[in-house]
Each structure stands twice: as C-alpha cells, then as structure tokens.
A and B are shown apart, each in its own frame.
Chain A
Amino acid sequence: MKTTRSIVLSIAATGLVGFAACGTTFPPQDLVNARTAFARANSGPTPKTDPADLHSAKEQLDLAEASYAKDGDTQYTRDQSYLAVRKTELAEVVGRTRQTDKEKNGVVNAMHADEKQAVASTSAELGRTRTQLANQNVAYVAQGTALKDEKSRRQDAEKRAAQASADLAKFATVKQDPRGMVITLSGSILFESAKWDLLPSAQLKLNDVANALIKEDPLSKMVVEGYTDSQGGVSYNQDLSQHRAQAVRDYLVTRGIAGDRITAQGFGLTHSIADNKSPEGRANNRRVEIVVQATDPSLSLR
C-alpha cells in the first residue's frame, strides 16, 4: 500500500514537473510581483535616490525573466523573482533613508546657521551694550566733574560773599532783603549838606566797598539808590538823590566795578526808614543804598 502511494506520488510529481517545463502561459506570481515592484520603484524617486541598488534589482529581475524565458516556471525562476522583489524594495528603502538623512542634515545645518546667526547678533548686541555702558560711564564721570566744579564754584562764591560782607560790616550796615544784599551807607559820611560831590573820606570808604563788591559774585547786578530826608521839595530831593546815587555809582566804576553791572537811581524823600521829625531820624533817612541783586537766590548772602 505504501509503495503504491509512492508510485502515484512520484508519477504525479513527474507530471507536474513536466507540465511546468512545457510552460504555461501564466508567469509565476513571484515574477509578476517582481515586475510590478520594479515598475513601481522605477517610476518613483528611487532612480534618483538609490540608482545603484535599483540597478541591482533590475539585473535580478532580468535573471528571473531569462530563467522564465528559458526554463519556464521553475523553482529557480521563482527564487530569482523573489530576490528581484526584495532587491527592489531594498532600493526603495535605501533611497528613502537617504532622503530622510538629507532632510535631517538640512534641518541640522539650518539650525547651526540659525545658532550662528543668533550668536552673532547676541555678540553684536553685547558690543553695543558695552559701548553704551562705556559712553554712559564717560557721561557719569563728566557729570561728576561738572558737579564737583559747580560745588567748588559755589563754595568760592559763598566764601567771597562772606568775606565781602565781613569787610563791609566795618563801616556800613549790610542786610539781606527781598531786593538782594543791601549795603547802606550814611549820607553824612559821603556828602556835605545839599551837595553831591563825594567827601575825600567818603572815597576811602567807597574804595573798601568797591573792593568788597569786586569779591562778590561777578555776575550780579548792582543798583545804587539815593534817598534824602523830607526837608525841602520833592523835586529838589529827587534831583539831589539822583545825583548822589550817580556820583557813588561813577566812583565805584572808577574803582573797577564793570559799568554795565551797576546803575544809579534816585528816590528822593520816598522810602524813608526813620521818622523825619527828629534829627536822628532824618540823618538815618539821608542815605545811599547799594543793592546787589543775587544771580542765584541760593547764593545770597546771609
């Protein structure tokens, strides 16, 4: 029984082999697959991305085709076809891998370029900031110097003013009022009665006044104001006070006070500071006031 089956099997096998050798009109499925796969790969990106492996696949397909043409649907034909399918797929995969690598490199390169750009712009920014800081520093130093200059200028001015008022205090009253520093000189030490020529002794006193004023803030303006008592007419006194103020002003100019800094004005019998009924009061009202207008209120004398 067993041998009978063997015979039947072997005959059937021989028949099958013979049938295959004669060649059917249908190519084996493996070969069909190989043709389809290659056609697909060949029309896609693979000829560009992996031409070498695709060429190997083509050679493999040619082997399969040749085997089929010569021997028909043999195991060899099928094996070669199978290899052609796999080689084709391999070419496609390798091609895609290369493409992916290329894109990755593009991204990486772009990233590096960005990074470089960022570093460059950051360092440029840093450079600008440094320059700004340096400039600011220079400005601060300059400002500091200016502040120092200003401070010492103030200190000088205060010192000069203090000295000036100390000098003046010896023979005149010096006081501070809303007009500025006011130096009041008694009329009797400057002029003879009803005259406006300076007495020789008055000139000595005025020399001290001039020296003190020269030590004053050189930018301040001065007004010499003349006043009389109430004896005599208004216009007479006005005239007298004007001349006396002018005389003092002119003398101070000859002692070195710049002419454009100092003016004279007479006020006559107005603005009395004492009672005109008593001789002492009238004597106090006869006076010349030198008003030093401070350029900066904070620099005014005490």
Chain B
Amino acid sequence: MYKSLFSLVILVPLLGACGASVPPPTQRLADAQSATRSARELGANSEPAAQLSLKLADEQISQAQKAINDGDNKRAESLLVRAKADAELAVAQSRERGAKIAGQVAVDNSAAQENTNYNQGAEK
C-alpha cells in the first residue's frame, strides 16, 4: 500500500506534465476528420501518393481517438496535428491528380481537334 502510494506520488506530477490538465482535443479531431473527408471526396484513394497520406492521417486519427479514450490528450493532440497535415497533403495530391487528368484530356482533345480540322481540310 505504501509502495503504491509512493508510485502515485511520482506518477501524478508526471501525468500532469504530460496532459492530465490538457482538455480532449475535440476541435483538432474534428478538423483532422474534416480534412480526411475532403481528401476522400477529391478521390485521394485513386492516387497512390494521396492514398498513402490519407492512410497515415486515418491511422493517426484512430490512434488519437484511442489516446483520448485512455485520457492521454496531449498525445492525441500531437497525433491529430500530424493527421491534419497528412490529410491536407492528401487533398493537395488529389488535386494534382485532377489537374493531370484535365491536362491529359486537353492534350487528347487538342489532338482529336487537330485531326478533325485536318480532315475538314485545314493544314496540319
């Protein structure tokens, strides 16, 4: 009993320093989840780089949720900050994929148009 009291004396200040006084990072959790939603909507899972970033974000969000449940809010906050950054990167990577596709479509259309013009008598 004495021994456990002793450990409590040591651990409590440590816990306090680590996050007992930190409130659950609900806003950060919402931000990170919102960012992953955006990435998914933009087709992050169709682009390998974006898919990886999104996966990292998802994993860290679930780790953060676990940490919140365990009362380790500080660790949760750290994970969520990272998760949000990953999700935002995933969003940008998905947009890059969209731009590449649009660019390819433009090149294809241009070639098709050129061909059409040629068939209609324009010079190549």
Contacts and interface: CB of A to CB of B under 8 A. Distances in A.
A122 interface: yes
Interface string B1-24: 001101100110010000000000
B10 A7 contact: yes
A107 B107 contact: yes
B96 A114 contact: no
Nearest to B99: A100
Interface residues of B, number: 35
B78 A100 contact: no
Interface string B105-124: 01101100110010011110
Contacts of A93: 89, 92-93, 95-96
Interface in A75-131: 75-76, 78-79, 82-83, 86-87, 89-90, 93-94, 96-97, 100-101, 103-104, 107-108, 110-111, 114-115, 117-118, 121-122, 125
A86 B113 contact: no
B109 A121 contact: no
A132 interface: no
Given A100-B99, A107-B106, A108-B106, A86 B3 contact: no
A7 B5 CA distance: 11
A24 interface: no
Contacts of B6: 3, 7
Contact of B85 (A4, A13, A82, A96): A82
A18 B122 CA distance: 78
Interface of B: 3-4, 6-7, 10-11, 14, 74-75, 78, 81-82, 85-86, 88-89, 92-93, 95-96, 99-100, 102-103, 106-107, 109-110, 113-114, 117, 120-123
5 contacts: A7-B10, A83-B85, A90-B88, A101-B99, A103-B103
Interface of A: 3-4, 6-7, 10-11, 13-14, 75-76, 78-79, 82-83, 86-87, 89-90, 93-94, 96-97, 100-101, 103-104, 107-108, 110-111, 114-115, 117-118, 121-122, 125
Given A87-B85, A97-B99, A122-B122, 5 more contacts: A90-B88, A94-B95, A100-B96, A103-B103, A122-B121
